[in-house]
A and B are shown apart, each in its own frame.
Chain A
Amino acid sequence: MAVIEILDELTQDTITTRQRWSHYITVALGILAVVILINLRANIQSAASQYVNNAEGITAYYPQNWLLEESDGTDYIFRVSNLREIGFKTTFQVSVEPVNQLTTSRTIFDALSMQRAQNLTAFRRLSIEPYTGSADFEATTANYLYVATDTNPFQQSVPVVVRGIDILTLTRDQAVIITMLSNADTFEENLVLFEQFVNRLELR
């Protein structure tokens, strides 16, 4: 919103104090409205739905209006996807793997890489590094990418380069793997949402 005034010499000379204050207030209200709208948009964007899984000891807050799927198998505990997104749907996922005293983050990431290399086209692991986010647990991250294709053979879909990140934290008897998959082109902007997701994740 903007206020545009076109004043000539004559009218400027005749403006009153009341009119001047009126202009100031109008401009101030306009700025206030913009601030409120920005704040409202931020609130909408950060609005979250809650997911609770008492059996696995997980509480999570995920972006509102993302599709929630709970696994009936062993692949993952739950995952959420942004179906509104055009193209590849950004997905956050939480899964657990059993571990023992000999298990390290490296062994789990290696196993994941070998498994993914068989299932995903052009899978490449990019890096493994310590987690530097603000969540209050120690973790390791793995970055990777692959090419995703539509499973419907009757449609002409263009493959998409997907970038993924795993955050792996080891507890006493299991490894929790928090994953984000995103179109490589929008990875950085989705990473912000993912960090919010990870920060609010409660593991008991």
Chain B
Amino acid sequence: MRPTLQLLAMLALLAVLSMFPAIGSAQSTTIESELPRIRRATVFIYQVQDTGDNFFTTCVGSGTLVSRNGLILTNAHTTEVSESCPGTTLIVALTTAEDNPPVPLYRAEILQTAPGLDLALIRINQDIDGRRINPEALSLPFVELADSSQLQLDETITVVGYTSLGNTPVQTLRGTITNFTEEPTGAKSWLKTSVSIPGLMTGSGAYNGQGQLIGVPTTSPPDVDIGTATCQPIQDTNDDRQINDNDICIPIGGLINALRASNFARPLIRSASLELQVELQSQPTETSLPVGSEPEISRLFFASSVNNAGLPTNIVGSLPTGATSLYLFFDYANMTPETIYELRVTIDNIPSATYSLAPVRWSGGESGLWFIGNSDQTWPNGTYTFTLFINGVAESTAAIVIGSAPPSEPSVGDIVFGLSDFDGTPLGNGFVLPTGNIASARFIYRNMNENVEITERWFYESAEVYRSSNLWSVGTFGTDGARTISIQDANGLLPGRYRLEIYLDGRLGATSDFTIAGMPQGAFPDVFPNIHFTSANDAVEAATTPAASSFPTEIERIFVVFNWQQIQPGTRWTVRWTVDNEIFYEQSQSWDAATTGSNYVITLDQNDALPDGTYRVEILIGQVLLASDEATIGIGQLPIDRFAQASGLQLQGRILDVDTGSGIPGVTFVLISEDFSVADFVWDSEQIYAFATTDRNGFFQMERPLEISTDAVSIPYSVVISADGYLPIEADGFVVDSETDNPLTLTIYLTKE
């Protein structure tokens, strides 16, 4: 009887497994097959005040697990301590059962934040009861990031998050991408969507058709004072036996239609997963504006295109029918990451959600020139009115007509700067120039008329330093062509930020900025000479240790050292680090050292040991690369993370006693990797692809998704289910393909010995 039962059990498992042959079409994950995993990877985050004997919720939001060991991507404004979110403890709740509200299970800590981008990466580090968790012991479902630069208009997206204060299950919303908003931070800084996303879904995830994360629904920190949100009290936080307006009010927020593109999160995730820490010699400090300084917006104008330096190529007052790009430029000052900015656009006085940007945090630093717009899509005809709001108050408005006749009025544009000496020898060109005596500007002009008044105004560090006005001579310059103008200083132009404005009959016709920094080296500025990697015990010693381009495995820290020359304090510069060509650190700040000096040290550190890889550091000013160096650690390539794959087939099921029909708790289901068969298996963990243990009801869930076989590649797993007191079950050739149900649920019967 028993051998018969054992045979039947093995035949049953083989029959179940053989239902999933390695045939079928090429593998393709779809949002439908990935949704169960995405829902489980979507978390609800409570920011709470720990009073010692109670938790009071202060802010809530959604988040998404982006690694198996508990890294969660979410918004900064719902997790960081602020006036509207004063809690100091983060509680993470997961949907542990389908169609049930989330269950608080863990505590988390903030690992990385980008306040202006409103992104934060938090990490599960404690159980809900405060017991510390080893992140490597976690095996949580997670999602992969898409390359958000590859998204297309009208692409269908799915938004997954929580829409209530933790009372309802995770929700799924569908829609399309309606627009891309371009800012100096990138061509697809914001993804606009047709989905009306509730404010409580801020920090959640939006997914493409393959189930990859494309963006984070993001709204501004709700602030009742400026009327951007409402809030709800849900607990008696003042102990007066009532829940009313005197209790802590949890911000809810309005509707969201903007997604922060996922590519902005990549550096945060990369540095956090590798635990890399970059320390500058002078760390960027929090913006400390003088008391009473209010954010300012000024000098609004439109341009039809932007050059590589992020500057306008022209200034337009109208655009013809069929215009495919438009940008609103403006100057800003006294801004901080906490500043809330909003753009409202009307077309013929009708509000346009497509071109408007709901209130979001400011990501552009304290002051400078900013733009917002987009290209590669046709703007419908109409009169567009752009109104900028700062902290809920309308600051400035500009209007433009699209659909007018092609312009016939005089125009100038496409300014490019160059530096030359008194002999006229060019020393450089572009938007970062080396120090010299003469700065030239070459611009294109069209449709010029006789006696048009052309005025050039040059500014240095916001102060006008030169102005000249002349009447245009068609006989001398013609109506169309290119012309060069310049400023000069016999003592040499000072390093710093310059601006040129060209006016035609008192109307701003073109403007552009450039920076003078560094000494001339051929045609280019040499601002950061002698950049090199080195190793040392500390930053002080690093200044004197020799340069190196390769380092041994398990080195704890390395240093980048460079000199600098002719850089004006206050000049905005950027440090960017990559490992194996993927950015893990990018920080812009104002230069706060002397104009010239030596041995600026940047430290790259890791608590344990720096992972093998090829590391590169780049120093930029105004998006212009000025210095770089590269070094390798160990084999020069990041270790392969065999758990990095998020997608695949989710295997789950139940193991039952064949006699009683009840689930058997504590049984282990072992899935052997495709390189080994049952006969080869010697109970070495290296041979195991994944395993799962049944719970009190006999249910199990495989901790790692199975790779799906394709026509070209078959991945046969082997299975061992072995439990004391029961006959073992073993099988080879377990293959899943695109036709296999996902998740795949097995029911397996064990026979007593």
Contact = CB atoms under 8 A, between A and B. Distances in A.
Interface of A: 49, 65-70, 73, 83-89, 118-121, 150-158
A158 B699 CA distance: 13
Contacts of B103: 153
A66 B722 CA distance: 11
B665 A119 contact: no
A86 B683 contact: no
Interface in B222-243: none
A137 to B, nearest CB: 28
A120 B131 contact: yes
A63 to B, nearest CB: 10
B666 A88 contact: yes
Given A119-B131, A154-B40, A67 B683 contact: yes
B695 interface: yes
A83 B40 contact: no
9 contacts: A85-B723, A86-B666, A118-B131, A119-B132, A151-B137, A152-B139, A154-B40, A157-B696, A158-B665
Q: Which 5 A-B pairs have the closest CB atoms?
A: A87-B666, A155-B695, A69-B685, A86-B666, A157-B695
A65 B730 CA distance: 14
A67 B685 contact: yes
Contacts of B96: 153-154
A156 B667 CA distance: 14
Interface string B129-152: 101111011111000000000000
Measured as residues with beta carbon below 8 angstroms from the partner, the interface class of chain B is 35 or more
A89 B668 contact: yes
A151 B139 contact: yes
Given A84-B723, A84-B724, A153 B693 contact: no
Nearest to A78: B685
Contacts of A150: 693, 695
B701 interface: yes
A68 B132 contact: no
Contact of A86 (B139, B667, B670, B692): B667
Contacts of A83: 668, 670, 683, 691, 722
Contacts of B131: 118-121
A20 to B, nearest CB: 36
A88 B667 CA distance: 9
B132 A118 contact: yes
Contacts of B133: 119
Contact of B724 (A85, A119, A153, A154): A85
A155 B138 contact: no
B77 to A, nearest CB: 26
A64 B694 CA distance: 23
A68 B685 contact: yes
Interface in B632-667: 664-667
Given A119-B132, A119-B134, A151-B138, A86 B724 contact: yes
B25 interface: no
A86 B667 CA distance: 5
A87 B696 CA distance: 9
A91 to B, nearest CB: 12
A84 B722 contact: yes
B696 A152 contact: no
Nearest to B688: A67
B703 interface: yes
A154 B701 contact: yes
A69 B693 CA distance: 17
A53 to B, nearest CB: 14
B546 interface: no
B83 interface: no
**Looking at A118, A121, A157, which has the most chain B CB atoms within 10 Å of its CB?**
A157
Given A88-B666, A150-B693, 11 more contacts: A49-B683, A67-B684, A83-B722, A86-B666, A86-B667, A120-B131, A121-B131, A153-B103, A154-B96, A156-B696, A157-B695
B697 interface: yes
Nearest to A151: B137
Interface in B106-138: 127, 129, 131-134, 136-138
B143 to A, nearest CB: 16
A93 B700 CA distance: 26
Nearest to B723: A86
Given A118-B131, A121-B131, A158 B668 contact: no
Nearest to A63: B683
B94 interface: yes
A145 B5 CA distance: 39
A202 to B, nearest CB: 20
B725 interface: yes
Nearest to A82: B724
A152 B668 CA distance: 14
A70 B139 CA distance: 19
B105 interface: yes
Nearest to A156: B695
B700 A155 contact: yes
A158 B693 CA distance: 12
Contacts of B724: 84-86
B667 to A, nearest CB: 6
Interface in B63-106: 94, 96-97, 103, 105
Nearest to A64: B683
A69 B688 CA distance: 11
A125 to B, nearest CB: 17
**Looking at A49, A119, A155, which has the most chain B CB atoms within 10 Å of its CB?**
A155
**Looking at B127, B668, B684, which has the most chain A CB atoms within 10 Å of its CB?**
B668
A105 B723 CA distance: 37
A151 to B, nearest CB: 5
A77 B684 CA distance: 14
B72 to A, nearest CB: 13
Contacts of B137: 151
Nearest to B685: A69
A85 to B, nearest CB: 6
B183 to A, nearest CB: 38
Nearest to A122: B131
Contacts of B723: 84-86
A73 B135 CA distance: 13
Nearest to A157: B695
Interface in B16-58: 40
A156 B139 contact: no
B701 A152 contact: yes
A158 B695 CA distance: 7
A49 B573 CA distance: 61
A150 B695 CA distance: 8
B108 to A, nearest CB: 14
Interface string B169-204: 000000000000000000000000000000000000
A150 to B, nearest CB: 7
Contact of A66 (B127, B139, B683, B697): B683
Interface string B286-325: 0000000000000000000000000000000000000000
Nearest to A118: B132
B703 A152 contact: yes
A184 to B, nearest CB: 15
Contacts of A158: 665, 696
A150 B696 CA distance: 11
A155 B701 contact: yes
Contacts of A89: 668
A164 to B, nearest CB: 17
Nearest to B726: A86
Contacts of A70: 685
